[in-house]
Amino acid sequence: MTSTEPGAAEQGARMRVDLQAVADAASVHRSTASRALNPATRHLVAAEAVARIEEAARALGYRRDDLAASLRTGRSYLIGVMVPDIVNPIFAPILQGVETALAKQGYSALVANAGNDAKRQLSVAEQLIGRRVDGLILATSAEDDPVVAMCVAQDVPAVLVNRSERASRLPSVVSDDFEGMKLAVEHLVSLGHTRIGHLAGPSHLSTGLRRRAGFEAAMKALGLDAGVIVTASAYQRGAGAMAAAELLDRHAVTAIAASNDLLALGAYRALSGMGLSCPRDISIVGHNDMPLVDMVSPPLTTIRIDPTNMGERAAALLLDWLGSPPGMEPRATQQVMRPSLVVRGSTSAPFSPPSATSWPG
Amino acid sequence: MTSTEPGAAEQGARMRVDLQAVADAASVHRSTASRALNPATRHLVAAEAVARIEEAARALGYRRDDLAASLRTGRSYLIGVMVPDIVNPIFAPILQGVETALAKQGYSALVANAGNDAKRQLSVAEQLIGRRVDGLILATSAEDDPVVAMCVAQDVPAVLVNRSERASRLPSVVSDDFEGMKLAVEHLVSLGHTRIGHLAGPSHLSTGLRRRAGFEAAMKALGLDAGVIVTASAYQRGAGAMAAAELLDRHAVTAIAASNDLLALGAYRALSGMGLSCPRDISIVGHNDMPLVDMVSPPLTTIRIDPTNMGERAAALLLDWLGSPPGMEPRATQQVMRPSLVVRGSTSAPFSPPSATSWPG
DNA sequence: ACCGCGTTTGCAATCGATTGCTAAAATCGT
DNA sequence: ACGATTTTAGCAATCGATTGCAAACGCGGT
């Protein structure tokens, strides 16, 4: 008569403890047990019964099946989160923010690594919806995004984070990319630079577009040539290195404002490939202040955004939406967060006098 | 009588298209429609009917409710993945590997940022199980892990990744931490170092423990003093900086083998705080080769593991388990992956002759 | 003793898909 | 043409919890 497991049912064949089992143990009906175990309906059952039921649940090791509950209630308490590339360090803090904000309200994140291809993104989104997520957070959206179109068409609550969308069909939380680039340009100009190039991000993404626009506007406002722009094909180091090499090859600049830290790091590589040094020969400003860029050589001057907070806000926005009565949805809240400049070692006053360098053309 | 939406049902109040709706449209029974739409059971229904049903499904925009299916079949096709800190760059590639391997078989990852606290980890695990995940992948496990205990006790399929567990109660996929540290030590010794310190990771984690053991064994095998060890309180830069400062304060070493890249970067900070330079005064070897450590200054010599592949293998192991008949589970497969040394700029021959430096004691 | 009112509880339908079983239909062999 | 198979399709139970409705109960007032 060794009691093999504390709290286990008598019979050897261990069976699932469902609500029925708890109800039986407490001699009440399933429905009563359900109400007793749910804080929101607990007041409907006698205090004495609640105690008995809770005790039984504890003793049996009952754990409610959220799946079944979701089916009945129509809410899964799951939020689908789509990122284009989970390895890109910029997304980790966003995910963290989203996660903590969701967890606080009992939601979980279903993270999907959707890649950059629109078709795949669409199918990933369909998968998520098939899993009955209550809503979507998209860090993937392009300027004219099919996934957004689908969400709108099918009434799937969704918010955009980090990247927004031309038509603003959904709420979004983004950094003020225009302003951020202005900070970068003004910083460089204040150091004495006048010939500044822009390493632009992909033009189908709002960040690429807005930052480029910010660059052009800031340069023009200061009476400088805003024409030195090369666009990288993707937000990746390799693409940044190629674009930077092209830019340096064709234009005599003393500084580069990059659309993104990864592009800036790519520019580092291009520089060293050409035997140039940063910031002696060329100053570089990045964008995002992603983890570890303070440790690279030279430490990267960049525009700081607060991705964790961005993620939190996006999640909060979505939860608001889910909590608001039909018809009252916050369709088009566009939250724009203020970026800031963080000066490190990759920028300095131009070293060589503008006319002293030699270049073709 | 404007037909507002193509393919939408006639009535204005748009209702969910469920299997019943499709069945009605194709004039068959629910069950027939279910079978026709499921590749595994499609052969049970006449080809002509399949066509009709598929057409109806397409026209109505039917999407199957995985939630309901899961309830009935008992499989959610969801795998819970627990990481201690999603912002730690080492985990992103692991997640990526897990994700792609899972996706290949129609599974999705439910990623949870569980923190370092055992109690919270336990509650997060309970949450995941409550969501009826089919299994768990744990990147969090300590040497004696309560979550592991729970999984074993409750028969929840789970595999460990990156960190293993003393008792090997579950399958795991880890790097050969012992061997990795041996590579690091041998590299330093081959450069001429003899007084080498170890920046150890937390001793409740297998990585901290095994790497430390590897350090000690390698040093002893080479007839060197294996006693210079300081343990960091966590795998974080700050903790690494503090531990490194203490180590350098108390011992005259010419090189440090760190248990982890983050600790190595912390050591960088400690060095510069003491006015020392790497590798001139002190050589440093990291561990993991996480993203961007090739760009820091100096570029970090480190031990490369293949976290993406690790994640893929862990996922594959779990899926094998789930697919194998009861009683045939691969309870204790321990996969150990071979690490490799990647030499960069943070290590060099000791600069100053061992006896020339001055230190107290 | 009866009525009315408020509190507890039970009943049974429901969410949407899957599947064992069985009946009907189609096919085949002789 | 008839019985034996093999396909194909329908029926109904099932997964586990939630919830509208109504019955039962307790209590105080008259």
For B37-55, the pLDDT digits (tens) are 999 999 999 999 999 999 9
pLDDT, residue A188, reads: 98
- For range B219-231, the mean pLDDT: 96
* Average pLDDT for chain A: 91
pLDDT, residue A100, reads: 94
Same domain, B249 and B354: yes
The closest nt to A72, taking CA to C1', is: C15
- Judge whether residue A74 contacts strand C, using its CB and a 7 Å cut-off: yes
Q: Do B86 and A100 touch (CB under 8 A)?
A: no
- Judge whether residue A24 contacts strand D, using its CB and a 7 Å cut-off: no
Cβ distance A97 to A311 under 8 Å?
A: yes
A319 inside domain: yes
CA of B15 to C1' of D18 (A): 21
Cβ distance A195 to A225 under 8 Å?
A: yes
pLDDT, residue A4, reads: 34
CA of B224 to C1' of C27 (A): 85
* 3 state DSSP class of B109: strand
* Average pLDDT for chain B: 91
Q: 0.85 cut: is pTM over it?
A: yes
Cβ distance B201 to B266 under 8 Å?
A: no
- Kindly state the tokens that stand for B56: 């109806």
For residue B71, pLDDT beyond 90: yes
Same domain, B141 and B86: yes
**Closest by Cβ to A93, choosing from B70, B87, B132:** B87
pLDDT, residue B356, reads: 46
**Smallest Cα distance from B304 to chain A, Å:** 17
> Which of B152, B108, B116, B161 has its CA nearest to residue B133?
B108
A85 inside domain: yes
- Kindly state the tokens that stand for A225: 């040539």
- Judge whether residue A18 contacts strand D, using its CB and a 7 Å cut-off: yes
For residue A93, pLDDT beyond 90: yes
- Candidates A4, A16, A71: best to mutate against B (most CBs of B within 10 A) is A71
- For range A235-247, the mean pLDDT: 96
- For range A72-80, the mean pLDDT: 94
Count Cβ atoms below 10 Å from residue A65 Cβ, excluding itself.
16
In this structure, the strands spanning B255-258 and B196-200 are: parallel
Q: List strand D contacts in B 30-49 (CB < 7 A).
A: 30-32, 43-49
A69 inside domain: no
What's the rounded Cα separation, in Å, for the pair B67 and A71? 6
- Judge whether residue A65 contacts strand D, using its CB and a 7 Å cut-off: yes
- Candidates B120, B131, B297: best to mutate against A (most CBs of A within 10 A) is B131
Using a CB-CB cut-off of 8 Å, the residues of chain B touching A300 are none
Same domain, B294 and B312: no
Cα angle B110, B115, B118 (rounded to 5 degrees) comes to 105
Q: How far is CA A326 from CA A72, A73, A329, B144, in A?
A: 19, 16, 7, 49
Q: Do B99 and A76 touch (CB under 8 A)?
A: no
Using a CB-CB cut-off of 8 Å, the residues of chain A touching B292 are 89, 265, 291-293, 295-296
For residue A356, pLDDT beyond 60: no
- Protein-proximal nucleotides of chain D (any atom < 7 Å from a CB): 7-12, 14-20
- For range A178-198, the mean pLDDT: 97
Count Cβ atoms below 10 Å from residue A335 Cβ, excluding itself.
17
- Judge whether residue A73 contacts strand D, using its CB and a 7 Å cut-off: yes
In this structure, the strands spanning A172-175 and A196-200 are: unpaired
Does residue A279 have a cis peptide bond before it, meaning omega lies within 30 degrees of 0? yes
Provide residues of B within 8 Å CB-CB of chain A.
63-68, 70-71, 76, 78, 86-87, 89, 92-93, 95-96, 99-100, 108-113, 126-127, 129-132, 265, 268, 291-293, 295-298
pLDDT, residue A81, reads: 96
- For range B343-351, the mean pLDDT: 93
For residue B12, pLDDT beyond 50: no
- For range A259-271, the mean pLDDT: 96
Q: What is the CATH number of the domain that holds A19?
A: 1.10.260
User: Largest Cα–Cα distance of chain A, in whole Å?
Assistant: 96
Q: How confident is the model at residue B360 (pLDDT cuts 50, 70, 90)?
A: very low
pLDDT in tens, A18-55: 999 999 999 999 999 999 999 999 999 999 999 999 99
What's the rounded Cα separation, in Å, for the pair A213 and A215? 5
For residue A359, pLDDT beyond 90: no
CA of B51 to C1' of C29 (A): 31
Which amino acid residue lies closest to nucleotide D6, measuring CA to C1'?
Answer: B44
Same domain, B192 and B167: no
- Kindly state the tokens that stand for B148: 């592991």
Cβ distance B77 to B70 under 8 Å?
A: yes
Cβ distance A264 to A235 under 8 Å?
A: no
- For range A143-163, the mean pLDDT: 94
A275 class by beta-carbon count within 10 Å (0-12 exposed, 13-18 middle, 19+ buried): exposed
Q: Do A295 and B99 touch (CB under 8 A)?
A: no
Phi and psi torsions of B292, nearest 5°: 80, -10
Q: Do A292 and B71 touch (CB under 8 A)?
A: no
Q: How far is CA B303 from CA B160, B277, B299, in A?
A: 21, 21, 13
B130 inside domain: yes
CA closest to A79 among chain B residues? B110
Q: How many domains does chain B have?
A: 3
3-state DSSP percent of chain A in helix, strand and coil, to 5: 40, 15, 45
Cβ distance A256 to A232 under 8 Å?
A: no
Same domain, B171 and B184: no
B70 inside domain: no
- Judge whether residue A71 contacts strand C, using its CB and a 7 Å cut-off: yes
Same domain, A38 and A96: no
- Kindly give the residue spans of alpha helices, DSSP state H, lying in chain A: 19-25, 30-37, 47-60, 66-73, 91-103, 118-130, 146-153, 177-190, 206-221, 237-250, 261-273, 307-323
**Residue B337 — left, alpha, or beta (φ > 0 → left; ψ -120 to 50 → alpha)?**
beta
Show the domain range for A102: 76-175+307-337
Q: What is the CATH number of the domain that holds A293?
A: 3.40.50.2300
B287 inside domain: yes
The closest nt to B69, taking CA to C1', is: C17
Same domain, B200 and B291: yes
What count of Cα atoms within 13 Å lies in the side-chain half-sphere of residue B204?
Answer: 11
Same domain, B299 and B311: no
B328 inside domain: yes
What is the percentage of chain B residues whose pLDDT exceeds 70?
91
- Kindly state the tokens that stand for A266: 């790519």
Q: What is the residue-wise DSSP string for A60-78?
A: HT----HHHHHHHHS---E
Same domain, A162 and A248: no
Tally helices (H) and strands (E) across chain A: 12, 12
Same domain, B170 and B312: yes
What's the rounded Cα separation, in Å, for the pair A250 and A231? 13
A1 inside domain: no
CA closest to B269 among chain A residues? A295
What's the rounded Cα separation, in Å, for the pair A45 and A22? 15
User: Which of B149-153, B172-176, B208-212, B327-331 is the least confident region?
Assistant: B327-331
Q: How confident is the model at residue A326 (pLDDT cuts 50, 70, 90)?
A: low
Same domain, A26 and A91: no
Q: How confident is the model at residue B1 (pLDDT cuts 50, 70, 90)?
A: very low
Same domain, B194 and B282: yes
**Smallest Cα distance from B229 to chain A, Å:** 25
